[in-house]
Amino acid sequence: MKNNKHLVGLVDSSHYDKLSDAVEQVLEHIHFSFNKEIRTVAIKPNLHNYWKSSSGETTDPKVVEAIVDIIRMNVSPDEIYLVESDATVMRAKHSFKMLGYEELAKQKNLRLVNLGKEKLIPLQPDVYAHATNSILQKIQVPEILTKMDLFISVPKLKLHSLTGLSCSLKNQFGCIPIKRKVVFHESLNKAIAIINKAITPNLILVDGIISKGKTPKRLNLLMAGCDPVAVDYVAAKISGLNPKKISHLMESKNLGVGSTNVKCVGANWAQFAEIFPRKGFLYNNSRKSLLSLYGLYLRKMTLEGKVFGAKPAVGG
Amino acid sequence: MKSVKIGIAGLGGQGKKHFLNCLRLKNCEVIAVADGYKRNLSRVSELGINTYTDYHEMIPKEKPDAVIIALPNYLHADCSTIASENGCNILLEKPFARNMEEAKLIANHVRKTGIKLMLAMCQRFIGSCQELKEEIDNDTLGRIDFASALFFTGPFTSGKGVPEWIFDPMKMGGGALLDSGCHIIDLLLWFFGEVDSVQGHTESIFDLGYDDYADVLLRFRNGVNALAVVSWRSRNPCYRIEVAGEHSRKVALSRKFGIFDVGLRKALFSFVLENVSQKIMRGRPFLPLGDNIYYKELDYFTKCIINDEEPEPNAIDGLKVLNVIESIYEKTKSKK
């Protein structure tokens, strides 16, 4: 597997007839090549509640389908697994069915895996050393993911109420096979960093076709990289967030998961940042409203003669 | 009878709301609660209320004046039968039953035993819907040609946990049309009376073995045409009833039922006032904000029992609603 970790590829998928062509192009940007000896592959989409990908919250099965096609074109793995675990308000088996992954698995001969039902192993000693409290020390990882020849994370680019950004690092949090993941919420940033240190994906393919910011919006963005920290750094820039203020990103960087030394290849990230539906008063409609309020104020001042002199007298 | 002794079967989302409202109401007293999850029961038993893990045990032993049935759809018929055989009045959560067969079974038991059964169609207690009903009855809108009812909300879009039985089509008996559609069809039947003809269709994109979208066109005997649309797909909840009359057009809206029903300021004021007084005077737990319609519903039900009046909607109203729903399911099946 040859890769350049600092590279992050971006493409505008609307420029391609087929999604698989866009995925192929973005992998080319980061000089990603498949090792011919790959036998097992795990793909981790981001499934959140039972919301379709058009909500900007879950990975589009078409993106997963495209990467599966590309894998099969390049190598002949014995098994491709689609993995996800149960969450506080979501059960993986229902999500697979309702969001179109069960159908995809049938068509493409994939194996759906609920990580909560797999054998778990404790954190490696070097990672465990970073678990600073009893909650973090409870983190276990599914053994199946540690044995994969290739682990691909296919996150959704979106904003998150607790972490600010949800992209590749946050997607890995879904690999912790505990239903009530809320127990980690008080140490969420550290937990994300630890799980990323324990299981680092070999390839990240970000589904930014429809992204959720303030509202869902079509960005037609596909982004790829081999370093989750680098990918999230660019994702933060696109989302209008300061990467240095995203705690789980900085925690992961400090833990040595990856680097923020990034080189973007392909489309310009700024073109996506321009249309990303940012949160906050100063963006989108709020900004327009503020400007129009300022316009009204100026108009009032003009009419009162405070800007361009006194208003001419009306009548005689 | 001064106070109605109540047993609650099922302490899920709806059961908890009814339970808390029972604590608020002066004319009722919860004497027992049955729920399969012991964790739910532990907090109830702290209040000195008898708890059971099975309603089969609770109802014959406690013989309450009324049973609130807030169980999964597939248990409605069974629990109603036991309650009516033990002479308990019933407040039954929607839908009435999974199908007409079960609904007729419940209705027959109610008729034979002479108990009172009220369907928990809480939307009849939304202030704007009650005003609309009054205007229709008083004929102040003039001749009504058209009405529409939109109800977009569902278990999968709320972002809350979904009980496992909801994923089982056998336990559900139907999808959006049965589970949510029963509300708006009940309202339309309440407004306009007997139905002349029914058309409609259902769709499913979630592939769960039942519908997640349905539209229904009802023609009433009084000449009103009404369209009802229900969807479990939209993440933006919508509740809108519109009636177009000869003189004016009237809309009933509700987003957060309780709060928008009485107005935010009034709701907050009554919430603070009632909770603080309840907490100080009786040491009772704090209540959630915005459950006003459930409170009104339970108040009406208990008053009907105390005054020996027939509550509405009753089993016959439930049969009418279910008849409409089942005819649409049958038509959709025959098209396929």
d(CA A115, CA A198) in angstroms, rounded, equals 15
- Bigger pLDDT: A51 vs B88: B88
Q: Is B236 on the interface with A (CB under 8 A)?
A: no
The rounded distance, in Å, linking the Cα atoms of B138 and B214 is 31
Q: How far is it, in rounded angstroms, from Cα A264 to Cα A250?
A: 19
Please give the pLDDT value at position A48: 81
Sign of the CA dihedral with A7 first, then A13, A18, and A19 last: positive
For A119-172, how does the pLDDT look when each residue is reduced to its tens digit (9 = 90+)? 999 988 888 888 888 888 888 999 999 999 999 999 999 998 889 999 999 999
| CB contact residues (below 8 A), chain B span 30-89, against chain A | none
Binary contact (B157, A98; C-beta < 8 A): no
β pairing state of A203-212 and A150-154 = parallel
Q: Which CATH number fits domain B4-123+290-314: 1.10.10.10, 3.30.365.10, 3.90.120.10, 3.40.50.720?
A: 3.40.50.720
pLDDT confidence of residue B126: 83
- Which one has a higher pLDDT value, A39 or A288? A39
At B34, is the secondary structure helix, strand, or coil?
Answer: strand
Confidence of residue A311 (pLDDT cuts 50, 70, 90): very low
Q: What is the pLDDT of residues B74-98, one digit of tens each?
A: 999 999 999 999 999 999 999 999 9
pLDDT in tens, B29-70: 999 999 998 888 888 888 889 999 999 999 999 999 999 999
Question: How many whole angstroms separate alpha carbon B207 and alpha carbon B296?
Answer: 37
Per-residue pLDDT of A271-282, as tens digits, reads 999 999 887 655
Q: What is the mean pLDDT of residues B194-206?
A: 92
pLDDT at residue A2 tops 80: no
| Residue-level pLDDT at A1 | 47
Q: Do B208 and A55 count as a contact with CB atoms less than 8 A apart? A: no
Categorise residue B288: left if φ over 0, alpha if ψ from -120 to 50, beta otherwise: beta
- Which H or E element spans position B30? strand B28-34
SS percent in chain A: helix, strand, coil, step 5:
40, 20, 35
CATH no., domain B127-253: 3.30.360.10
Angle at A156 between CA A154 and CA A161, to 5 degrees: 135
Q: Which residues of B touch A97 (CB under 8 A)?
A: 206-208
DSSP output for B192-236: H-SEEEEEEEEE-SS-SSS-SEEEEEEEETTS-EEEEEEES--SS
Region A35-44: mean pLDDT is 94
Sheet of B213-220, strand order: B195-203, B213-220, B225-231, B144-152, B238-245, B249-253
Q: Which residues contact B138 (CB under 8 A, 6 or more apart)?
A: none
Say yes or no to pLDDT of A4 above 90: no
Cα separations (Å) of B196 from A166, B189, B220, B314, B332? 53, 11, 5, 21, 19
B247 touching A (Cβ < 8 Å): no
Q: How high is the pLDDT of residue B280?
A: 58
The residue ranges of every structural domain in chain B are: 4-123+290-314, 127-253
pLDDT band at B278 (very low <50, low <70, confident <90, very high): low
- For A87-105, what is each residue's pLDDT tens digit? 888 899 999 999 999 999 9
What string of DSSP letters covers B266-291? HHHHHHHHHHHHHHHHH-PPP--TT-
* pTM, rounded to two decimals: 0.80
What value of ipTM does the predicted structure carry? 0.72
Nearest C-alpha neighbor of A127 from the set A172, A163, A95, A85: A172
- Interface residue B23 vs chain A (CB under 8 A): no
- For residue range B203-246, list pLDDT tens digits in order: 998 888 999 999 999 999 999 999 999 999 887 778 889 999 98
Question: Bridge partners of B29?
Answer: B5
Which residue on chain A is closest to B158 by alpha carbon? A49
